Chains A and B, each alone.
Chain A
Amino acid sequence: MPNTQQLEDFVSQVRRDIVRQVHKVNSGHPGGSLGCAEFISVLYQEMMDRKEGFDMDGNGEDLFFLSNGHISPVFYSVLARSGYFPIEELNTFRLINSRLQGHPTTHEGLPGVRIASGSLGQGLSVAIGAANTKKINGDKHLVYSLHGDGELQEGQNWEAIMYAAAKKVDNLIATVDRNHQQIDGCTDDVLPMGDITAKFEAFGWDVLEIKDGNNISEVIKGLEEAKSRTGKGKPVAVIMTTVMGHGVDFMMHTHKWHGVAPNDEQLEKALAQNPETLGDY
């Protein structure tokens, strides 16, 4: 298992991968990707029990579903650097004939991806389904999922949240990226969602919070705690506060970099703030 410094180095490289991917094609979603760099890196490098290679069924290993598929740059970077496909393939992000589609898909056969996502609000149901199958199969491994906070405005989530508690889907850890931003602005301006923690609790989930989702130690501590609460009759939700655009100073604390790529000069600034640690692709 990597130590904290190794994880810091990993995340720094992932941030470089994110901004370089979106810069090259002048499209994609850097803001949410940067904000979740610690979380997804910690999941794949530290938390998940994963098998070598990739098969769709994923029996005998932990699974992860990315519901907010637009943060594909961070997902692709972590998958590549966790051995699912060649790191050089990050060069093909959003290009024609690429396996790295704008939003993740199984359609082009990219290893590591088990469901298409992008149209929001569908990933929690899928994660519940995979968790159901693990139970039927007697597979004790866990299912993790990640959701944007704005994504919770989609009604299907609340069907799924109700179901998971009612049916005691307790082999599932669903994390909400609480960055308070969505495309049109601050979530509180677009459609205030109130107390998300209280809502999950009211639906019968076991909820814990990670106050700083951009702090690796806190993410590890929070996810360890979440893991310890599985298997106790309740699905586990992690409400994780992050800063959209984290790690690139001019992209932080604003929704403006939700879906905008940096220009050449901005790229240089962003890279200067995130040292090359594991080698650029």
Chain B
Amino acid sequence: MKKYTNTGSKDTRSGFGDGLTELGKNNPNVVALCADLTGSLKMGDFQKNHPERFFQVGIAEANMMGIAAGMTIGGKIPFTGTFANFSTGRVYDQIRQSIAYSDKNVKICASHAGLTLGEDGATHQILEDIGLMKMLPGMTVINTCDYNQTKAATIAIAEHHGPVYLRFGRPKVANFTPEDQKFEIGKAVLLNEGKDVTIIATGHLVWEALQAAEELEEKGISAEVINIHTIKPLDEAAILASIGKTGCVVTAEEHNFLGGLGESVARTLVQNHPAPQEFVATMDTFGESGTPEQLMEKYGLNAAAIVKASEKVIKRK
């Protein structure tokens, strides 16, 4: 199988911060807003370099979303930064009316998504945000897998007109995608070709999917691995092509199995090419305090869980 190397673990939020720093230099229309989490979101460089284009709104996310919507009028491209929980659930109606329905060019950038936020516990560990955002008409939903991809995505979404939800996380994770990658919104990335099972992963689970594929290879199972960074619009053609070949699929995401990537894949299959599917995701539950590794183990979101699900789904073919 194709080898991927961790070039040095980094947090995806730093990919966002560094992407934003580059945008600050290259795109004078980019403005940034933050709700009292500048350090956590790694927005400090942008703030320092472009104080006139940085807006600290305090702990007031609803106001931040409204201000961002208003700032598009006159040609600015606002990037909002706060935790995923406060970027979505807390401000759903503001996003729905003032951004999505109003077709405003706002980039909602959300860190600390999912269980890997860790010790802060369930109040902050949103596992429903992909579902909330993908249900909004016109919203693009992106969940990146490593530092390099997050940086590339941050830069790419500035060029895309329309509302975008960009989801990333807190912990340092393997950095394995190319530094010079071209990020194409809505395009799946085929990481490994295989014939027995397709593993479709997003976010932090993509690296786990690669580890799982290696383990499966040792067991004589050939796994195809697809990195879906864009959950909406979904690259249905790539998914169907792969499952047409392997005949079964495991989806893997740091999100509730209700409303996440897995459901989008299932819908695609039901409409086009029904096939057995297993879900590596949280099972309609809240999280809890713990280290990221402990939580991913407890809630079954790692390579071992993907291996198990793959073996199970192959038997269902």
B162 to chain A, nearest CB (A): 13
A132→B63 contact, CB < 8 A:
no
Task: Considering the complex, give the chain A residue whose CB is closest to the CB of B94.
Answer: A122
* Contact segment of B70-78, B171-179, B293-301: B70-78
Please measure, in the bound complex, the distance between the C-alpha atom of A204 and the C-alpha atom of B97, giving whole angstroms: 28
B69→A115 contact, CB < 8 A:
yes
The listed residue (B66, B74, B76) touching A160 by CB distance below 8 A is B66
**Does A156 make an interface contact (CB < 8 A)?**
yes
**Does B183 make an interface contact (CB < 8 A)?**
no
B202 to chain A, nearest CB (A): 29
Interface size on A, residues (CB 8 A): 39
B71→A107 contact, CB < 8 A:
no
**Does A114 make an interface contact (CB < 8 A)?**
yes
The listed residue (B60, B65, B97) touching A118 by CB distance below 8 A is B97
A130→B74 contact, CB < 8 A:
yes
Residues of A within 8 A of B (CB): 56-59, 63, 65, 105-107, 114-119, 122-134, 136-137, 139, 155-156, 159-160, 162-163, 166-167
B57→A163 contact, CB < 8 A:
yes
Please measure, in the bound complex, the distance between the C-alpha atom of A68 and the C-alpha atom of B66, giving whole angstroms: 15
B73→A133 contact, CB < 8 A:
yes
B74→A59 contact, CB < 8 A:
yes
A125→B74 contact, CB < 8 A:
no
In the complex, the number of residue pairs spanning A and B with C-beta atoms less than 8 Å apart equals 120
* Contact segment of B98-106, B225-233, B269-277: B98-106
Task: Give the most central of A58, A59, A156, A166: most B CB within 10 Å.
Answer: A156
A124→B66 contact, CB < 8 A:
yes
The listed residue (A105, A159, A166) touching B102 by CB distance below 8 A is A105
Please measure, in the bound complex, the distance between the C-alpha atom of A115 and the C-alpha atom of B98, giving whole angstroms: 6
**Does B67 make an interface contact (CB < 8 A)?**
yes
Chain A neighbourhood of B78, CB < 8 A: 129
A106 to chain B, nearest CB (A): 5
- Decide: A133 near B76, CB < 8 A? Known: A122-B94, A163-B57, A163-B60: yes
Residues of B within 8 A of A (CB): 31, 52-53, 55, 57-58, 60, 62-76, 78, 93-94, 96-98, 101-104
Chain B neighbourhood of A137, CB < 8 A: 74-75
Q: Which 8 residue pairs are nearest across A and B when measured between Cβ atoms?
A: A129-B70, A125-B66, A133-B74, A159-B63, A159-B60, A129-B67, A126-B70, A129-B71
A146 to chain B, nearest CB (A): 15
Assuming A107-B102, A163-B63, what are 5 further A-B pairs, CB within 8 angstroms?
A126-B69, A130-B73, A133-B31, A133-B73, A137-B75
B67→A122 contact, CB < 8 A:
no
| Sample of 15 A–B contacts (CB below 8 Å) | A56-B73, A106-B101, A106-B103, A115-B69, A122-B93, A125-B94, A125-B98, A129-B68, A132-B70, A133-B70, A134-B74, A156-B62, A156-B63, A159-B60, A162-B58
The listed residue (B31, B70, B101) touching A128 by CB distance below 8 A is B70
Chain B neighbourhood of A117, CB < 8 A: 97
A160→B63 contact, CB < 8 A:
yes
Task: Considering the complex, give the chain A residue whose CB is closest to the CB of B53.
Answer: A136
A159→B62 contact, CB < 8 A:
yes
B97→A122 contact, CB < 8 A:
yes
Chain A neighbourhood of B63, CB < 8 A: 125, 128, 156, 159-160, 163
Please measure, in the bound complex, the distance between the C-alpha atom of A226 and the C-alpha atom of B53, giving whole angstroms: 27
Chain B neighbourhood of A131, CB < 8 A: 70
Task: Give the most central of A117, A129, A166: most B CB within 10 Å.
Answer: A129
Please measure, in the bound complex, the distance between the C-alpha atom of A33 and the C-alpha atom of B116, giving whole angstroms: 50
Please measure, in the bound complex, the distance between the C-alpha atom of A136 and the C-alpha atom of B50, giving whole angstroms: 12
B67→A116 contact, CB < 8 A:
no
A84 to chain B, nearest CB (A): 16
A162→B60 contact, CB < 8 A:
yes
Please measure, in the bound complex, the distance between the C-alpha atom of A124 and the C-alpha atom of B60, giving whole angstroms: 13
